Structure 1
Amino acid sequence: MTVTDLDSSWLAACLGLDERALNGFWTVQQWRRELEDPRRLCLGLVKNQRLLGVACGWLVVDELHITVVAVDPDERQRGHGRCLLLALLQRARQDGAAHATLEVSDDNIAALALYNRAGFRTAGRREGYYRDGSDALIQWCRLTPEE
């Protein structure tokens, strides 16, 4: 398995993973923007040319706004999400980020545990944030400089 930079050649794989892992949360246009915008970081966990997971974010000055962390349901509970998240945070640090933030559904216990282990803390709530009306918790983390 390798963590690799994703570009537009991975569009179909990202759409397939999104469908399996997130029930088609993003559109083709959203994925295309994510993969083509130079201000965005998009990493994939790949094994035998198969995309097992993704972690993407948008660099805004010194802050990484994480837009997605998703792992194929058949590959969960194997540390892949943690591997991708840590790789994304490391890359953001290298590119000058001092903070990271994201939104996560308040009932996504697995994701909240993952982010908590990586040093994220809840900084607020966005009521009715998701299409289904559920709330999002705003997560925030200070990125310590690499030594």
Structure 2
Amino acid sequence: MISIEQIYKKDIDLCYELDSDTISLWNKTQWANEFKKEDTKIFGLLITNLVIGICVFQVVLDEAQINYFVVNKKFRKRGFGSYLMSYLIKKCEKLNLRKILLEVSQGNVTAEKFYSRFDFSTVGIRKNYYKDGSHALLKEKKLTTK
């Protein structure tokens, strides 16, 4: 059974482990800091009780900033990322947010294609943003709220 559930501070090790096995974005201290941020939500995509994906987003005024989005490598290309992103978009629309923002490495072609399927468009570039010198593409999706 597939479900999406909020993840809490007690699950830092789980978040860190999935991160270490995928994109290695944050250390444990950085994960702990995400849980402390006001208006930050962390959701896990689960199959039975196994967390296979995580999304971290922060609401700032009328926008959502995706700070982290990943699916376990073993479960990619099977629609799980789309399931998680669709959930996030619906959640943001229910919160009456105007748009969703994120950044992605210009070299991450797979992620670029993924986000474009959800109508994220590039609205800016941060040059030499990542450790490897690659640029960050700033992406935005406008939402239709009621």
Shift of 1:34: 2.1
Matched residue, 2:13: 12
Q: Give the equivalent residue in structure 1 for 2:116.
A: 116
Normalised to the residue count of structure 1, the TM-score between the two structures is 0.92
Give the C-alpha shift of residue 74 in structure 1: 0.8
For the residues of structure 1 that align with 2:81 and 2:122, how far apart are their CA atoms? 19
Cα drift, residue 38 of structure 1: 4.0
- Per the TM alignment, residue 124 of structure 1 is displaced from its structure 2 partner at its CA by 1.2
Which residue of 1 is the match for residue 43 of structure 2?
A: 43
| Residue 139 of structure 1: how far off its partner (Å) | 0.5
Number of positions where the alignment pairs a residue of Structure 1 with one of Structure 2: 145
2:28: which partner in 1? Answer: 28
**Unpaired runs of at least 5, structure 2:** none
CA contact (8 A) 1:11 1:31 kept: yes
Shift of 1:49: 1.8
Q: Secondary structure at the match of 2:130?
A: coil
Residue number in structure 2 paired with 1:76: 76
TM-score (norm 2): 0.93
**Paired position in structure 2 for 1:58:** 58
Aligned partners of 2:41 and 2:94: how far apart in 1?
12
Question: What is the alpha-carbon distance in structure 2 between the residues aligned to residue 40 and residue 144 of structure 1?
Answer: 22
2:96–2:145 Cα contact (<8 Å) kept: no
Question: AA paired with 2:108?
Answer: N
Which 10-residue stretch deviates more, 122-131 or 33-42? Answer: 33-42
Aligned-partner SS, 2:22: helix
Alignment of 1:84-99 (within 5 A): 84-99=84-99
Q: Which deviates more from structure 2 when the two are superposed, residues 47-56 or residues 35-44?
A: 35-44
Q: Which runs of 5+ in 1 are unaligned?
A: none
Whether contact under 8 Å (1:6, 1:35) holds in the other structure is no
* Corresponding residue of 1:2: 3
Name the counterpart of 2:142.
Answer: 142
- CA shift at 1:130, angstroms? 0.8
Q: What is the alpha-carbon root mean square deviation over aligned residues?
A: 1.3
Equivalent pair of 1:123/1:140 in contact (CA under 8 Å): yes
